[in-house]
Amino acid sequence: MDKNTIIGFILIAAIVFGFAALNKPSEAEIAKRKKYNDSIALVQQQQAVIQQQADATKLNSANPDSTALNDSAAVALKSDAFGAFKTAAFGEEKFFTVENELIRLKFSNKGGRIYSAELKNYRTHDSLPLILFDKDESALGFTLTTTNNRVVNTADLYFEPVGEVTKDPKGNQTFVFRLKTDQSGSYLDFIYTIPANDYMVKYDIKATNMNEIIPPSMNLLEMNWSAKIRQQEKGRQFEERYSALHFKYLTDDVNKLSESKNDQEDPANKVKWIAFKDQFFSTILIADESFVSTSLTSEMMPEKSGYLKSFSSKMAVGFDPAGNQPTGFRFFFGPNRYKILSGYDKGVPGDEKLYLRDLIPLGWTIFGWVNRFMIIPMFNLFSTFIGSFGLIILLMTVVIKIVLFPMTYKSYVSSAKMRVLKPEIDEINARIPADKAMERQKATMELYNKVGVSPMSGCLPMLLQMPILFAMFSFFPSAIELRQQSFLWAQDLSAYDSILSWNAYIPLVTPYFGNHISLFCLLMTISSIISTKLTMSQTPTASDQPGAGMMKWMMYLMPLMFMFMFNNYASGLSYYYFLSTLITIGQTYIIRATVDDKKLLAQLHAKGSKAKPKNKSGFMERLEKMQREQQKALKNRK
């Protein structure tokens, strides 16, 4: 072997040993891998237990004498898998019911969880008890890791009730579940406090001497919370649109997952609360401190399943195994009523406010302000002395139309001014050829400027009314006060008022319009067409303008488009728009009777003759500049 060959072998050996040294795992990585392997082994052990129990069941049917042997082997394996919690690994599921004036909660000793939640003052659309969740529709469990690397979940363990339900002088009830261990004096308590007359339930987890069973370094509890959202209302399509998983960042706004598709999000920052919300009711889990490492998922459910969506959340919360500080939560089981949700922020410092009221979709920015500071206070005021919500909507509509009447009057007068000037506009159009469009516009604007008329003055009042129209569009579908409130033929003002329905699926009709016809929606459409015709008759239009005919048909087509849109919406909303349109038609006839077109034209010309020459407006200057540039461009082409 020559010298070069020896050097080559030495270099290869150095590279191999160096590569191995560089890739040697650290102590932390070794510990992590060991924990992972232990977890895998635990899962395999638990699977073996399940398999042995299944095998034992088969064997017992053929050989009864082998029952004790197989049971003892399964118990031994399961006891070893649950470590210090082996005494809680066996038991029989039992239920305990605690209720106040508003909610009825059923607890299960398996997992120490709330098994069922019922709202006593509400019913489903078919008059059944309104239950937010029951049995396996909801799950809540915490992952515990022991000092000997056993990983268990509280959902699989059996708790013991500590005494009876206790009640304080204020009527608040306290119920305690205890998770015992094989070490005397070490246990975990789940403490539930149900108030006398509230939807908010206090929920605390308190450890006692658990630092010998759970490593002191384990200062976070991993938890999983999931639920299927039941269909509670008559219209699934509409209810589904308003059901979503919401969450609030600790120091930021409320966000939500998509309502219309499967969605998943891992919030990067701390989360204060998570809400499983349907159209009118919510189950909300609120951390006293915050959730970290949160992962949220929303999945659509099949229509025939009876559920709208399936929500799940994985997160971690602070935990003290020594028991010096409990881990605290609050559960809200209740209606999405603005007054109730906003009430939890009364007297609370700004940085501690929950903003649960943001679960109610009142509209963006200015539309939400209109609802919060005008519509909701007015609605609540009328509700205190009027029992019929149909009459309340009528009264609200009248008040809103009275408030907006000055704008309506100004808009009509502006349209009347344009109408009486139409003969002179037609004369300008006849005198100036159509190919000189800029010259036509200039002459027309000079006429408007002379008599003091602005073409935009009629649009501004209408634009100022838009925030109220859009605010009402958000308010009615989310107002739980209208739920199951009847008026005239409408059995539920929060749902559609069907007067004709069918079961057959009709392409392009069933997906968008539905399999029914809502009467209030139909009346709204008819009144809108009448109002459009009335508006078109008093608004001057030039039939020779390009697209004038198409624009006219579009004006009549819009009410029909709205009919497709509102047919599945709350009948209270269609009823409001119907009343609003009727009042607008009445106001139009009243104003028309008080405005004399001949007198108005004379006033305009009298004002024009007395008016002093005005400086050109910025609009006119820009218009003339555009005309000069256009004329210059035409000359250059020639």
Higher pLDDT, 543 or 636: 636
Please compute the mean of the pLDDT values over residues 186-193 and round it to a whole number: 94
pLDDT in tens, 471-489: 888 898 889 999 989 999 9
* Highest mean pLDDT pick, 86-95, 277-286, 629-638: 277-286
Q: Report how far residue 541's alpha carbon sits from residue 635's, in angstroms, rounded to the nearest whole number.
A: 32
Residue 611: is its pLDDT beyond 70? no
Cβ-contact 327, 221 below 8 angstroms:
yes
Average pLDDT, the chain: 80
pLDDT of residue 467: 84
Cβ-contact 271, 248 below 8 angstroms:
yes
Q: For a pLDDT cut of 70, what percent of the chain falls above it?
A: 75
Higher pLDDT, 239 or 442: 239
Among 35-49, 110-124, 261-275, 324-338, the minimum mean pLDDT is found in: 35-49
Residue 73: is its pLDDT beyond 70? no
pLDDT of residue 50: 41
pLDDT of residue 107: 95
pLDDT of residue 636: 62
pLDDT in tens, 429-451: 777 776 666 766 777 776 666 66
Residue 102: is its pLDDT beyond 50? yes
Residues pairing with 104 in the sheet:
99, 118
Higher pLDDT, 7 or 101: 101
Please compute the mean of the pLDDT values over residues 225-233 and round it to a whole number: 94
The HSE-up count of residue 598 (CA atoms within 13 Å, CB side) is 0
Q: How many CB atoms lie within 10 A of CB 629?
A: 11
Residue 90: is its pLDDT beyond 70? yes
Residue 57: is its pLDDT beyond 80? no
Please compute the mean of the pLDDT values over residues 268-286 and round it to a whole number: 94
Q: What is the pTM of this model?
A: 0.77
pLDDT of residue 64: 44
pLDDT in tens, 615-624: 555 555 665 5
Counting DSSP H helices and E strands in the chain, the numbers are 16, 21
Helix axes 389-420, 519-538, angle to 10 degrees: 20
pLDDT in tens, 486-499: 999 998 898 888 88
Residue 633: is its pLDDT beyond 70? no
Q: Report how far residue 344's alpha carbon sits from residue 346's, in angstroms, rounded to the nearest whole number.
A: 6
pLDDT of residue 234: 84
DSSP, residue by residue, 77-136 = HHHHHHGGGGGGSS----EEEEE-SSEEEEEETBTTEEEEEEEEEEE-TTS-EEEEEEGG
Q: Report how far residue 476's alpha carbon sits from residue 571's, in angstroms, rounded to the nearest whole number.
A: 9
* Highest mean pLDDT pick, 85-99, 327-341, 355-369: 327-341
Among 480-489, 566-575, 625-634, the minimum mean pLDDT is found in: 625-634
pLDDT of residue 42: 46
Q: Report how far residue 324's alpha carbon sits from residue 60's, in angstroms, rounded to the nearest whole number.
A: 49
Please compute the mean of the pLDDT values over residues 89-94 and round it to a whole number: 90
Higher pLDDT, 163 or 229: 229
Q: Report how far residue 301's alpha carbon sits from residue 236's, in angstroms, rounded to the nearest whole number.
A: 11
The DSSP secondary-structure symbol of 150 reads: -
pLDDT of residue 356: 95
Residue 56: is its pLDDT beyond 50? no
The DSSP secondary-structure symbol of 616 reads: P
pLDDT of residue 609: 56
SS3 54: helix
The DSSP secondary-structure symbol of 24 reads: P
pLDDT in tens, 367-414: 888 898 899 999 999 999 998 999 999 999 999 989 888 888 877 777
Q: For a pLDDT cut of 90, what percent of the chain falls above it?
A: 37
CB contact set of 574 (below 8 Å; sequence gap of 6+): 497, 518, 520, 521, 523, 524, 566
Q: Report how far residue 195's alpha carbon sits from residue 197's, in angstroms, rounded to the nearest whole number.
A: 6
Please compute the mean of the pLDDT values over residues 203-209 and round it to a whole number: 93
- Give residue 46's pLDDT band: very low, low, confident or very high (50, 70, 90): very low
pLDDT in tens, 499-522: 888 887 777 777 777 788 889 989
pLDDT of residue 510: 75
- Give residue 25's pLDDT band: very low, low, confident or very high (50, 70, 90): low
pLDDT in tens, 330-343: 999 999 999 999 99
